[in-house]
Amino acid sequence: MYNKLEAREAALILLYALAERGVRRGKDLTRARVSRVTLKRLWNRENLNEAWLAEVNDWLLSAGWTLLYAGGTFGVVKKSVVENWPRIASKRIQDVVDEAAAGNFNFGKLEHFFASPMSDGPTSSRTLPKKRNRSAGTRRNG
């Protein structure tokens, strides 16, 4: 009978696999994708439920990594990389947030973001209102 790994052991095996891949690649990894099948094989598990994955992720976070589910595959990313990503701030769209909270926002205006995974998606400047001009003394936050 095979041993089912505990969450801490599972995190260590995954960290070892990341290190091994980095050695083969010739440089440290900052991110990787990994299939559900590979995780099941690494961890000798038939089922990867959310609670158990959260426990594994807690151990990974202690080592500076995070596990995320990306709708068909998983990603493993160094926390330091995520911390350097561009930040989204709610205050930039506070008028929309307020309207939605009050039940007055027309979400139909945003449906185009679901149009196609191959489209420009939310980053398309065509779909956003024009930037307001700022005075030279206005500080930009977030």
- pLDDT tens digit sequence for 3-18: 889 999 999 999 999 9
pLDDT at 126 over 90: no
pLDDT over 70, % of the chain: 80
**What DSSP letter does each residue of 112-134 carry, written as one string?**
GGGS-TTS-GGG-GGGSPPPPP-
User: Which element (helix H / strand E) includes 32?
Assistant: strand 31-34
- This prediction has a pTM of 0.73
Please give the domain boundaries of the chain with CATH numbers for all domains. 7-83 (1.10.10), 90-118 (no CATH)
CB contact at 8 A, 12 and 20: no
